[in-house]
Structure formats: C-alpha cells, structure tokens
Amino acid sequence: CAIIFTPDDTHFEIAMECIERGMHVMITKPPVKTLEEHAAIAEAAARKGVLCVIEVHKRYDPMYADAADRIQNLGPFSF
C-alpha cells in the first residue's frame, strides 16, 4: 500500500501510478484538484480492485472539533 502525503498538486499522478501497479492508496486531503481527477482515480481503483481512501485523521479530534466550533464566531470562514 502507499500513503500519499506529498504536496497537493502531486497527489493525482502518484495515486494513479500506485493504483496502476495494483497498490491500495491512502491520500491526504485534498486528494486531488478536480472532479475529473476524482472520477479517474475511482475508475482506476475499481478496475484494478484496490482501495483508495482519503485520510481525515483530525476530523474527530476534540481539539479540532472545539476549534471548528469556536471559529464560527469569526464570521464567514473556510477551513
């Protein structure tokens, strides 16, 4: 398996190469830049019979959940 923890603009090429070699992949977010890249990865993974997952390790971390709640008081914000 491969864990892709590289600069965002390299995720797609690396993931596709790994999938084509029959490797399961885990990609840190954001996984890719476009919907077309998402579709290509999903199709390739299905064709090769491998898993492709997105790493979201901080989503349920209490510290980050608290920060997400508090940040709402700052107004419109994307995180």
Amino acid type, 64 = Y
Q: What is the pLDDT at residue 77?
A: 62
Q: What is the pLDDT at residue 32?
A: 93
Q: What is the pLDDT at residue 49?
A: 98
Nearest-angstrom CA–CA distance, 19 and 75: 41
Report pTM. Answer: 0.71
Q: Which residues of the chain have pLDDT under 50?
A: none
Q: What is the pLDDT at residue 37?
A: 96
Query: Quick one: tokens of 39?
Result: 């579709």
Measure the N-to-C terminal CA separation of the chain; round to a whole number of Å.
Answer: 29
Residue with tokens 């996984």: 31
